[in-house]
Chain A
């Protein structure tokens, strides 16, 4: 066991954790934040995506003990003052899900992804690697979101939802 401190959605938690516990386990089992989902548990599906120190990350592959002191935002922490985050609102507006299991990961991933675009980071679909900022075309969204799988196949609504929220 190890004692760690995590700030989750603005609230500080002091926790004794098994060193084997991942951030996903701690969020779901200890903090009752079950929005982040356990899909594949191997970093392949993206359902567990959270914002870890401001960057999107697979919480299923992050050992909690290695992230002592981290600032985490989960799907539960995106809305402010009862107002949905623009990406949450866009997913509702565009019906960008069917079963909804991948949705928290999709939305957290999209929040992180838009931050990366803001920083000027290119993707493998960027026509100009040295551009100050990539245009967020549908191809760019698909490439940048390829770490989030939707088994219902709601991609045709997910892509416009993200494009809409990015504007």
Chain B
């Protein structure tokens, strides 16, 4: 691991000031479960780490409107174990519980989870070209091993997927990210927080240098209790998604009154399935409608040579998840 300077932040504003003062090579340190790993691999070589893991951002507060405000330093395990989250937003608890392992979830923070990097094997291997790690060097994944990479929204420069499960649930729930910036606080929708790769795959999110995530806000969702997260992976536990589905369903008299749907493992960002939601609203809560909604979303898929299997897989997992919810 390359040498670096270490500084513990005194508060959110102090952290932003410290990062800017330290210049380009400075990075925030949260739980470290992804960043320290990438530093060992040589993928990240920060000149300074500004430690924000001990900032007083560890509260989960219930809002008057029924929503939640989750501090950025809340550990993934604490959020999944929170009683209100389990009761009102099972999709969020299940997404968290399906990610990583027990000991990693105890270290990993909510802010860090949103900012984790792709697990594309070329990104993690410094002996290989990668436009995300080394802009302009090329993307071997496009012709190489891309079996578990993107089927939607990729670009010639990058076909990586975003690895987070939590972010998929937050995209379905239409959560917002609260960010401390040099000019004060700003709020960004989770659905707009992560980027598609375009010709700048090195930028995972819309954050500017120095911006610090301080909280995530989840709005109230009256039918949130009827929500779930289904993750398909290559082994039963402790593995990234091949395809995952976060869904919430509101049914009255056999009809879909409202719904929320987002997909993981298919794109450079947690994929809000807006077309599927649109296709579902006002339709009968039947397998036929669920498959039609999946088709409406997956119509835009452009699978690569070796990952076309993800399209019918996502279709089946969407329909199965919605069927289960409709029977719940």
* Contact surface of A with B, Cβ cutoff 8 Å: 2, 19-20, 22, 41-43, 46, 49, 52, 55-58, 61-63, 65-66, 109, 112-113, 116, 119-124, 129-130, 142-148
Contact = CB atoms under 8 A, between A and B. Distances in A.
A112 B83 CA distance: 20
5 contacts: A19-B6, A41-B40, A65-B51, A66-B32, A120-B81
A109 B103 contact: yes
Query: Which of B8, B36, B81 is the most central at the interface, judged by chain A CB atoms within 10 Å of its CB?
Result: B36
Contact of A43 (B5, B33, B80, B87): B33
Contacts of B40: 41-42
B93 interface: yes
A43 B104 CA distance: 7
A80 B87 CA distance: 39
Interface in B1-60: 1, 3-6, 8, 29, 32-33, 36-37, 40, 49, 51, 53-54
Contacts of A112: 102-103, 106
Given A46-B103, A124-B98, A142 B87 contact: no
Interface of B: 1, 3-6, 8, 29, 32-33, 36-37, 40, 49, 51, 53-54, 75, 77, 80-81, 83, 86-87, 90, 93-94, 97-98, 100-104, 106-107, 236-238
A122 B81 contact: yes
The 9 closest A-B pairs by CB, nearest first: A147-B101, A146-B237, A121-B81, A146-B238, A124-B97, A55-B106, A19-B6, A56-B103, A20-B1
Contacts of B83: 120, 130
A35 to B, nearest CB: 16
A46 to B, nearest CB: 6
Given A41-B40, A42-B37, A57-B107, A142 B81 contact: no
Contact of B33 (A61, A65, A119): A61
A65 B6 contact: yes
A22 B94 CA distance: 30
A56 to B, nearest CB: 5
B32 A62 contact: yes
B103 A58 contact: yes
Given A19-B49, A130-B87, 11 more contacts: A57-B106, A58-B103, A58-B107, A63-B29, A63-B49, A112-B103, A120-B83, A121-B77, A124-B237, A129-B90, A147-B100
A108 B126 CA distance: 34
A19 B4 contact: yes
B53 A56 contact: no
Contacts of A65: 6, 51
Nearest to A58: B103
Contacts, number: 109
Contacts of A121: 77, 80-81
Given A124-B97, A143-B237, A63 B32 contact: yes
B102 A129 contact: no
Nearest to B100: A147
Contacts of B29: 63, 66
A42 B32 CA distance: 11
B230 to A, nearest CB: 11
Given A56-B106, A116-B102, A129-B94, A122 B80 contact: yes
Query: Which of B77, B81, B238 is the most central at the interface, judged by chain A CB atoms within 10 Å of its CB?
Result: B238
A43 B37 contact: yes
A145 B102 CA distance: 7
A109 B102 CA distance: 8
Contact of B238 (A22, A62, A63, A147): A147
Contact of B4 (A20, A129, A142): A20
Contacts of B77: 55, 116, 121
Contact of A46 (B6, B36, B101): B101
Contacts of B94: 124, 129
Given A49-B103, A123-B97, A130 B6 contact: no
Contacts of A56: 102-103, 106
A93 to B, nearest CB: 24
A94 B36 CA distance: 36
A129 B93 contact: yes
Query: Which of B40, B75, B103 is the most central at the interface, judged by chain A CB atoms within 10 Å of its CB?
Result: B103
A119 B102 CA distance: 14
Query: Which of B29, B32, B53, B75 is the most central at the interface, judged by chain A CB atoms within 10 Å of its CB?
Result: B32
A98 to B, nearest CB: 21
A122 B103 contact: no
